[in-house]
Amino acid sequence: MTLETIQLLEQELRATYPSAVTALDGGRRLVSLPEVDFPKGCRPSMGGALVVLDPNAAKPEMYLSQVPVLPSGGSVSVGTVSIGGQAWQTFSFNVAWEEGKHNAIQYVEAKLARLRREA
């Protein structure tokens, strides 16, 4: 992603999530979203998320402070990664996102949509 795209995505996230905070972390831009709403029926219903905007990556990446239990009561396979000196959880789901065509909110919503489906 270009630096211009990263700046644009950051602005979009800040506009949609007013409590968002950002930090530059070794060339990457981190956007922390203290409260994102998970799909209806997930437990808990909301939680913290981190969006990583890396100039060396083709699209954003999103991590959760805790991946919720799915509406069905099942769970997705969760991995743990270290970002910015903190542990974050991730789950595998390929979001078809294209730079210049899609925006940051579409990415976040598409990623979270995985949690609507059965395990």
Query: Contact positions toward another protein, by CB under 8 A?
Result: 21-27, 30, 32, 56, 80-82, 84-87
Q: Which residues pair with 78 in a beta bridge?
A: 91
Give the shortest CB-68-to-another protein separation in angstroms: 18
CB closer to another protein, 46 vs 81: 81
Give the shortest CB-22-to-another protein separation in angstroms: 7
CB closer to another protein, 22 vs 39: 22
Cβ-count burial of 68 within 10 angstroms (0-12 exposed, 13-18 middle, 19+ buried)?
buried
Distance of alpha carbon 107 from alpha carbon 60, whole angstroms: 8
Identify the residue whose tokens are 């709403």: 37
Give the shortest CB-86-to-another protein separation in angstroms: 7
